[in-house]
Amino acid sequence: MTVAGDWRQRLGVFLESTAVVRVITVLILFNAVTLGIETSPSVMDAYGPWLKAIDSAILAVFVVEIGLKILVEGRRFWRSGWNWFDFIIVGIALVPASGEFSVLRAFRVLRLLRLISLIPSMRWVVGGFLAAIPPMSTVVLLILLVFYVFAVLTTKLFGFDQERFATLGASLFTLLQIMTMDGWSDVVRPVMESHPYALVVILPFIIITSFAVLNLFIGILTNALHTQAVADTPVDDRLTVLVDEVRALKGEVAALRAALPPERPPPG
């Protein structure tokens, strides 16, 4: 190994060390506090320059960290989605917060999202959620189909005397309110005064969208998180778990054999 390669390797180990990760985590949390304090006009009037200086210093640390990682990993840095995530988050904070870009200053708070890439458990949850998006698309299509069917149905049944169902768009919005259970009884009761059978139409919609479909989402997400956990588990750990399970099964078989009555010898 060359001297330059050894130097880069040692720097890479240092950047991934527990101490550095903890320092970056503390800086992110401290930056969260300062960004929250900046929302107070009175505090900004008194300590605005100090808070801006602290913010710039923390941003400088993040820039140096990202720069050193690019120096160490080279092209490998851009092969990781989490590295891209950190680079974009820090890059947004470097955009000049003046003129037409002044609105981007509010997006400095996105730096707090770097905790996701630093904490393994958060990366696991986000990875599982992203893996669940393709299966969820089918459930979303199912919801859209159910919404459209019930929107057309309720518009035709209740639209002539109920403002909430007067048009297809109004029915879609009202059904969305019913699905979220946000004051759904205040919506249904006026309809039932003129249409006593309204609950026969709306109740199946509530059951399908608020309970059945929600459970589908939870099931898909749980399965994706389990798959992600298995994928993140090292092969050696998986083999260890399998060996332990086989040993446990052998112990159970031995216990069952010991519990069986002894075989009698055949009569002579």
**pLDDT tens-digit readout, 19-77:** 888 888 898 889 888 888 888 888 888 888 898 888 889 888 988 988 888 888 888 88
**CA 63 vs CA 66, 92, 105, 111, 217: distances in Å:** 5, 11, 17, 12, 38
pLDDT at residue 184 greater than cutoff 70: yes
Confidence grade of residue 259 (pLDDT, cut at 50, 70, 90):
low
Q: Once rounded to an integer, what is the mean pLDDT over residues 204-229?
A: 79
pLDDT at residue 201 greater than cutoff 80: yes
Helices 18-37 and 41-73, axial angle in degrees (round to 10): 150
Q: Once rounded to an integer, what is the mean pLDDT over residues 93-103?
A: 60
pLDDT at 242: 62
Class of domain 122-257: mainly alpha
Q: Once rounded to an integer, what is the mean pLDDT over residues 182-191?
A: 83
Q: Once rounded to an integer, what is the mean pLDDT over residues 95-102?
A: 57
pLDDT at residue 247 greater than cutoff 90: no
pLDDT at residue 9 greater than cutoff 60: yes
pLDDT at residue 148 greater than cutoff 90: yes
pLDDT at residue 16 greater than cutoff 70: yes
Tell me where in the chain the CATH 1.20.120.350 domain(s) lie.
3-118
Q: State the chain's mean pLDDT as an integer.
A: 79
Architecture of domain 3-118: Up-down Bundle (1.20)
In a 3-state reduction of DSSP, which class is residue 160? coil
C-alpha 81/C-alpha 230 separation (Å) is 20
Core vs surface per residue 111-150: b (16+ CB within 10 A) or e: beebebbeeeeebeebbbeebbeeebeebeeebeebbeeb
For 225-246, write each residue's pLDDT tens digit.
777 666 655 545 556 656 667 7
pLDDT at 152: 93
**CA 27 vs CA 21, 30, 34, 43: distances in Å:** 10, 5, 10, 21
C-alpha 102/C-alpha 223 separation (Å) is 43
Tell me where in the chain the CATH 1.10.287.70 domain(s) lie.
122-257
The answer to whether the pTM exceeds 0.75 is no
Answer yes or no: are the C-beta atoms of 11 and 72 closer than 8 Å. yes
